[in-house]
Structure 1
Amino acid sequence: MEEIGSIVLIISLIILIFISAFFSGSETGLMSVNKYKLRHLANKGNKHAKRAEKLIKRPDRLLSLILIGNLFANNLAASIATIFGQRFGGWWDTGAVMILTILVLVFSEVIPKTIAAVYSEKVSFISSFVLKYLMFIFYPLVWLLNNFSILVLKTFGLRVNNNDEHHLSTDELRTVVNEAGALIPKRHQNMLVSILDLENVTVDEIMIPRNELTGIDINDDWKSIVRQLTHSAHSRIVLYRDQIDEVVGMLRVKEAYRLMIEKNEFNKETLLRAADEIYFIPEGTPLNTQLLKFQRNKERIGLIVDEYGDIIGLVTLEDILEEIVGEFTTSISSNLSEEITPQKDGSFIIEGGVNLRELNKNLIWNLPNDGPRTLNGLILEHIEDIPEAGRTIKISNYQIEVIDVSKNRINLVKVKRLRK
């Protein structure tokens, strides 16, 4: 080594530090690059993305190659530093190694890894070009090192499956959508998150409850039936006998009008023949499941039944779609803005039948909604009695004053969110 000049050693040391920096930056860049964006670019035909994705598919081999390169550069650099120490003597014996350690730490670790973390896509594209050929050259050594490592892991009872696909869970996908920022418009983000939330919401939570169902009793006199048809605000009407549990069909009002115009004999029998068969939905059905069932069965409306077969409500295709895109302006049913009246003191006058989930969603509240589905039900469950008007209670962080009660039902309350 004596015949090798100091200038050559210094140049060699600089080259080795650069090589070490390349491998360190490549590791960070390829491991931190957005794999889903990479796959998207690869599917579009980007050759750089295809090359990088191919390397990332086998991270064990990639890391083995990078470690081989890093160890080679760092160990050779340490040997050169030792030569410097022996050649110049004195404090160089320890000083050369200390200087090399600082240089490697700063220029081969911190700086390249920081750059790679910030510009992971560019770094991965550039480094993958070099690593592709290095993998081909050093493949026998990489294969040997990789398999030896797997053998050691197996002796400790650990299993490594290189073919595992990293799929996003629903919660992880929701986080990705929420953190998309300006890349996805806020309205589109809300729609995507709402689609993901469909599996957590059941038909019971968005249904029109039994006491609000409108229908026609087929046993009424004919004039009353015709009057109800002509004044109906809905496109479909439930037909029943005496009580809602004795449903006989679902009548399309357009069809009734057509029969009224075209048929000379328009009576109860023709009305019953024109009615469609009732489509029943079990309570507790998740919205994503029911949406697919509506599509598969070509239905738009269904009656929800409990475990005893009693009707508890009605849900439509439009109700489920509104969970995704928001309220339709053409909706006939009252929306939340009609059930809530803001007050000057920061409180709200709210109808008792308002849906708790919708209330929390729109006012960004956190009233308990894991039990009763309406504000009326929540209050009754909390006090275990039917309150009188004027009674004030506290639920969670909300002060609730009962304003109007009739027919064993709380019609109107005043709610104020208390400061913590």
Structure 2
Amino acid sequence: MSEDDSSTYPSDASDKPHEKRRSWLDRISSALSGEPTTREDLVELLRDAQADGLIAADTLAMMEGAIGVSDLSVGDVMIPRSQMVVLPADEPLPGLMKQVVESGHSRFPVHGEDKDEILGILLAKDMLRAVVAGDDEGPIGIHELLRPAVLIPESKRLDVLLREFRLSRNHMAIVIDEYGGVAGLLTIEDVLEQIVGEIDDEHDDAEDPNALIAAQADGQYVVDALTPIDDFNERFGADFDDDEYDTIGGLVIAAIGHLPEAGEELTLGRFVFRVSSADARRVHAFHVGILGDA
């Protein structure tokens, strides 16, 4: 074969059609396999698994929360500036202690003359150590107790922040607006609550059962989804089982078979539950009617 003849047979000529055919076959096979190819497909698959009893409703809610975190930014869930508990750096230690005890928090931004001037983060445990050691080492200024403050923009994605929290072991970040002022703050607990739901600690006020169930003028009730089944049973003389689920929301969602949207209804015994408030992650409240009531 001459040099000219060989040029008519490029070495990869026979491979390209084969590779193209394999690519199309792979894509067709993927489409027919039922495997999720988009986030929406994945969520639908998880909801089907929950409906089939493979995963619990609470587990589904956490999975959807984990998936949804990547769509949220810091500005979506931060504690706004107006609700922040901040401490002035020029306040004497006894006065700071009083504010720390009353708030029940464990971390506090400390500011200078202006509340946009964040000097650092004060940990309650550091203050306690300083108070205990004060008699031996003399008075300790607040500046000596401060830890560096982490500053982040409102546009930062939550999943990125969660990863940074884990790597740095920081638990609080100060959110800065586009002008450099303080817009709010965010803790690792706030981020995790987007995944697992509300996290109560020993400083959170216990829920008043009566506040979770509100009577309406039409004879129906608005019932918070987090109402314990025991409290619901006691209020209405019901006998719902609480062996598998703790809250009325968990019970109703399991009976419906998927995470319901606002407006969906279900009758359990003599009670009609209609979802009155819900988002993509969980049900918040029900309208409850009692069959046979006038």
Question: TM-score category by the smaller chain?
Answer: 0.5 to 0.7
1:246 and 1:290 map into 2 onto residues whose CA distance is 22
Q: Does 1:162 align with 2:23?
A: yes
Q: 1:307 to 1:363 in 2, by over 3 A?
A: farther
- Provide the rounded CA distance (Å) in 2 between the counterparts of 1:363 and 1:208: 28
Among 182, 205, 228, which residue is 2:99 paired with?
Answer: 228
Q: Distance in 2 between matches of 1:336 and 1:160?
A: 63
> Are positions 1:184 and 2:35 aligned together?
no
Higher relative contact order by CA 8 Å / sep ≥ 6: 1 or 2?
2
Cα contact 1:218–1:268 (8 A) shared by 2: no
* 1:341-380 equivalences in 2 (<5 Å): 342-344=214-216, 345=218, 364-365=261-262
The reply to whether residue 216 of structure 1 matches residue 77 of structure 2 is no
State which of 193, 197, 213 in structure 1 corresponds to 2:68: 197
Aligned mate of 1:173, from 18, 42, 46: 42
Contact 1:217 1:243 in 2 (8 A): no
2:175/2:184 contact within 8 Å kept: yes
Match of 2:123 among 246, 249, 252: 252
Q: State the 1:334 CA deviation.
A: 7.1
| Residue 308 (structure 1) aligns with | 179
Amino acid at match of 1:272: H
Provide the C-alpha distance between the structure 2 equivalents of 1:256 and 1:329, rounded to a whole number of angstroms: 24
In the alignment, structure 1 residue 263 sits paired with structure 2 residue 134: yes
Q: CA deviation at 1:312?
A: 0.9
Amino acid at match of 1:160: R
1:244 positional shift: 2.1
Residue pair 2:130, 2:140 contacting (<8 A) in 1 also: no
1:31-110 matches, within 5 Å, as none
Shift of 1:337: 9.0
2:240 counterpart residue number: none
Structure 2 residues without counterparts, runs of 5 or longer = 1-13, 31-35, 223-258, 264-276, 278-286, 288-294
CA distance in 2, matches of 1:308, 1:298: 28
| Percent of paired sites with the same residue | 22
Q: Which amino acid aligns with 1:330?
A: D
Give the count of matched residue pairs: 203
RMSD: 3.7
**Distance in 2 (alpha carbons) for counterparts of 1:335 and 1:308:** 39
Gaps of 5+ in 1: 1-146, 349-361, 367-397, 399-415
- Partners of 1:336 and 1:229 in 2: how far apart? 23
Q: Which residue of 2 aligns with 1:317?
A: 188
What whole-Å deviation, never above 9, does each CA across 1:199-227 have from its counterpart, x for those lacking one? 11222222111001112111234542343
CA displacement at 1:292 relative to structure 2: 0.9
Q: Which has the larger radius of gyration?
A: 1
Give 2:63's aligned amino acid.
L
- Secondary structure at 2:117 match in 1: strand
- CA contact under 8 A between 1:259 and 1:266: conserved in structure 2? no
SS in structure 1 at match of 2:91: coil
Contact persistence 2:134–2:140 (CA under 8 A)? no
CA distance in 2, matches of 1:334, 1:246: 31
Q: Distance in 2 between matches of 1:174 and 1:214?
A: 38
In the other structure, the counterpart of 1:55 is: none
Distance in 1 separating the partners of 2:138 and 2:108: 17
TM-score, normalised to structure 2, is: 0.58
> Are the structure 2 counterparts of residues 304 and 223 from structure 1 closer, same or farther at C-alpha, using a change threshold of 3 Å?
same
> TM-score, normalising length from structure 1?
0.42
